C-alpha cells in the first residue's frame, strides 16, 4: 500500500514536468516511430511470473482485474492486444504520448526495462474482460452504427476487435466515458501518438456524431471466450 501511495504522489509531481501540447494543435509525427524499447520488447519472450509482479503496479489504477473504472478515469486494459500494449507503454516512456498520470508508473525505475514491458503486456492481454463495461445513453444507436461502418471498420474491425499486427487497439468492451475522452484528445491532437488517418477522418464529426458512434462502440461485445464471469476475481492476487 505504501508503494502505491508513493507512486501516486510521484505522479502528481512529475506531471508538472512533462511537456504539454497546445490545445488545437494536431501533431501526429509520433504515431508509430518504432525503434527503441518498442522494437526490443516486441521480440522478447514474455516471462509470466514477472508479468504478474509488474502488473501489481498497474493494478493501482487499472484494478486487479484490469477492468478499469466505468467513469472512464482508467480504461479497461484486460484483453487488449499484446503489441498494442507494448507500443503504448513504449510511447509513454519515450514521451511520444503524453500521459502524466501513468508516466511515473511506467518508468524503468518502477517496472524495469524492455523485458518487463513484454512481460506485463503479455499478462494483460490474457486477462479476461469485463462483462459489464460502461455504456453510453443508447439514444442514437442507428446513427452510431452507420458512422462506425462508414468510418471505423477499416482499422478497428466490424466488431471493434482491432488488429494487433497493425497496432490498432481492441475497442470492443471499452468504457464509454473513456472512449469519449480519448476521442476528444485524438481529435484535438492532445494524444500525439494517434493514427493520423483517424485524426483527419474524425475532424468533421459533430458532438452528436461522436456520442452516437462511441455509444455504439461501447456496446460491441468481445468474443465470449475473452469475457470473464461477472464475479471473477483475479486469482493471482488473492
Confidence category of residue 14, pLDDT binned at 50, 70, 90: very low
Cα–Cα distance for residue pair 70/222, rounded to 1 Å:
17
**Quick one: average pLDDT of 161-169?**
96
Question: Which grid coordinates are listed for 111?
Answer: 517496472
For residue 30, what pLDDT is reported?
54
For residue 9, what pLDDT is reported?
42
Q: What share of the chain is helix, strand, coil (3-state, %, to 5)?
A: 50, 0, 45
For residue 220, what pLDDT is reported?
98
* Nearest of 136, 126, 122, 135 to residue 65 by alpha carbon: 126
Determine if residue 61 is labeled as part of a ligand binding site: yes
Determine if residue 180 is labeled as part of a ligand binding site: no
Confidence category of residue 4, pLDDT binned at 50, 70, 90: very low
**Quick one: average pLDDT of 195-221?**
96
pLDDT at position 96 over 50: yes
- Stated pTM of the model: 0.87
Confidence category of residue 12, pLDDT binned at 50, 70, 90: very low
All structural domains of the chain, each given as residue ranges with its CATH number in brackets, are 2-129 (1.10.760.10), 141-226 (1.10.760.10)
pLDDT at position 150 over 50: yes
**Quick one: average pLDDT of 128-136?**
98
Determine if residue 156 is labeled as part of a ligand binding site: yes
Determine if residue 155 is labeled as part of a ligand binding site: yes
Cα 90 from chain centroid?
13
Cα–Cα distance for residue pair 56/31, rounded to 1 Å:
28
* Nearest of 28, 14, 186, 44 to residue 106 by alpha carbon: 14
Determine if residue 62 is labeled as part of a ligand binding site: yes
Average pLDDT, the chain: 89
Confidence category of residue 32, pLDDT binned at 50, 70, 90: low
For residue 36, what pLDDT is reported?
86
Confidence category of residue 31, pLDDT binned at 50, 70, 90: low
**Quick one: average pLDDT of 27-55?**
84
Amino acid at each position: 500500500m505504501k508503494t502505491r501511495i508513493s507512486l501516486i504522489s510521484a505522479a502528481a509531481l512529475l506531471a508538472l514536468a512533462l511537456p504539454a501540447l497546445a490545445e488545437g494543435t494536431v501533431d501526429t509525427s509520433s504515431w508509430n516511430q518504432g525503434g527503441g524499447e518498442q522494437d526490443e520488447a516486441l521480440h522478447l519472450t514474455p516471462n509470466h511470473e514477472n508479468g504478474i509482479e509488474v502488473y501489481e503496479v498497474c493494478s493501482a489504477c487499472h484494478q486487479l482485474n484490469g477492468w478499469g473504472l466505468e467513469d472512464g478515469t482508467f480504461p479497461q486494459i484486460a484483453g487488449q492486444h499484446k503489441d498494442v500494449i507494448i507500443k503504448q507503454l513504449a510511447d509513454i516512456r519515450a514521451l511520444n504520448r503524453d500521459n502524466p498520470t501513468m508516466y511515473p508508473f511506467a518508468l524503468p525505475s518502477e517496472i524495469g526495462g524492455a523485458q518487463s514491458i513484454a512481460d506485463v503486456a503479455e499478462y494483460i492481454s490474457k486477462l479476461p474482460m469485463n462483462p459489464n463495461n460502461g455504456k453510453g445513453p443508447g439514444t442514437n444507436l442507428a446513427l452510431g452504427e452507420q458512422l462506425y461502418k462508414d468510418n471505423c471498420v477499416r482499422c478497428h474491425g466490424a466488431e471493434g476487435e482491432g488488429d494487433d499486427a497493425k497496432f490498432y487497439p481492441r475497442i470492443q468492451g471499452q468504457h464509454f466515458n473513456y472512449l469519449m475522452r480519448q476521442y476528444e484528445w485524438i481529435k484535438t491532437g492532445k494524444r500525439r501518438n494517434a493514427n493520423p488517418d483517424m485524426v483527419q477522418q474524425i475532424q468533421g464529426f459533430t458532438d452528436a456524431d461522436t456520442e452516437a458512434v462511441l455509444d455504439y462502440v461501447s456496446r460491441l461485445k468481445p468474443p465470449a471466450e475473452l469475457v470473464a464471469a461477472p464475479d471473477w476475481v483475479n486469482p493471482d492476487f488473492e
